[in-house]
Amino acid sequence: MPSVLLASPSTFLRIGLTQQLRRQQRRFVPVEAVTAGEAARVLAGRAIDLAIVDDTLLGETGGDLLQEALTRHTRQTLLIALREPCGPPPIPGTIVIAGRLDGVLDMGGIARALDDALDALAVTRPARRAATQQATAVKDARASVRPDPTRPNLTRPAEIILMAASTGGPGALAALLGRMEPPQVPIVIAQHMPADQTAAFARHLAVETRLSVCECGAGQLPSAQVVVLRGGADYRLRRAAGQGSGGQAYWLSTITVAGNTFHPCADLLFASAAEAGIKVAAVVLSGMGEDGARGAGIVAAHGGGVLVQDFDSCVVPGMPAATRAACPSALVASLSGIAGRLARWTAPSSRGAAAMAEET
């Protein structure tokens, strides 16, 4: 199997690249490096077929040594461009993948470009059998989606909207929120992202959607229309003290989920809210893996509503497909369809109840 160097100071980026390669059914042996010096030593000490390098390493101490090692010791290099543009690629023959969108790490863009780049380099071959199995699973999930709307889970208007996303999520979230009218209830977003990037992502969403958006960690949910959970941690949601059913104040507390790779954990967020008696509208957007599927099932079991992004429009359909499989009552819809459904599900009691009655 070919050896692939994954070099970046960002754990999130290294994990994301590994997961993306595995999702594409590429056979490879990953070798990780955190610093420029460490990456240079790896390249000098063993045969590396492909180096995928965060270009910020070229600008740090030891960057010159890394650039020289990439030129001498690897056959092919992909640079994830996270620095400001500074001229042509420093290494001849390098393929550059844009890694930032409006100052935010763009895992969706990286995911879209990575497969094409690997095919162009012809470094690794797809595992055909596994790829066929994955394609069959997605096809089966698509076949289970009927064109006629199914009976919605909600029996009364939702009090809060919870959204989950990973790879491809930033673009899907911006597009979805941009199609929504100012929300009647709070929207809380669990976008898999490291802690140092969610504040910038919240600002990006505010500019793109013209909604009131802020980042939030533990504590009382702020009054902003949209809240992006601070990355790097997992959260439980409950009503704030003294708030009974129908109360509008909510409280977030942090918790560590053993074995969880990506944060914030959507399963925990969804399940904790539903089990606290909060009427939830859960939305699962583009992302790799299955986060959100188990929690969505708990939301549905407690009388909440579940919506998932249609698979064809996802950068990675893993999370929506897993949610649809785990929660058969989930509705699969386009981003525009999700926006319209949320407007009806969160309308004031009289109008919301009438709208939901029409959908049954």
pLDDT exceeds cutoff 50 at 132? no
How many domains is the chain built from?
2
Give me the domain span that covers residue 276.
149-359
In which band, very low, low, confident or very high, does the pLDDT at 358 lie, cut at 50, 70 and 90? very low
CA separation for the pair 280, 160 (Å, rounded)? 5
Burial 121-154 (b: 16+ CB within 10 A, else e): bebbeeeeeeeeebeeebeebeeeeeeeeeebbb
In a domain? residue 7: yes
Q: Is 288 found in the same domain as 327? A: yes
Q: Which residues are catalytic?
A: 166, 192, 291
Please state which of the ranges 25-29, 111-115, 346-350, 354-358 shows the lowest mean pLDDT.
Answer: 354-358
In a domain? residue 140: no
Average pLDDT over residues 132-152: 46
Q: Is 71 found in the same domain as 45? A: yes
Q: Is 113 found in the same domain as 155? A: no
In which band, very low, low, confident or very high, does the pLDDT at 293 lie, cut at 50, 70 and 90? very high
Q: Is 15 found in the same domain as 63? A: yes
The CATH number of the domain holding residue 340 is 3.40.50.180
Sign, CA torsion 316/318/321/324: negative
Give the end of a domain, one of 78, 96, 131.
131
Q: Give tens-digit pLDDT for 192-206.
A: 999 999 999 999 999
Q: Is 98 found in the same domain as 165? A: no
281 within 8 A of 342, measured Cβ to Cβ: yes
- The rounded percent of the chain whose pLDDT value lies above 70 is 78
Q: What is the pLDDT of residue 139?
A: 53
Q: Is 174 found in the same domain as 55? A: no
Question: In this structure, what DSSP letter does residue 91 have?
Answer: S
- The encoded tokens of residue 294 equal 């188990």
In a domain? residue 136: no
The CATH number of the domain holding residue 17 is 3.40.50.2300
The whole model's pTM is what? 0.60
Q: Is 34 found in the same domain as 116? A: yes
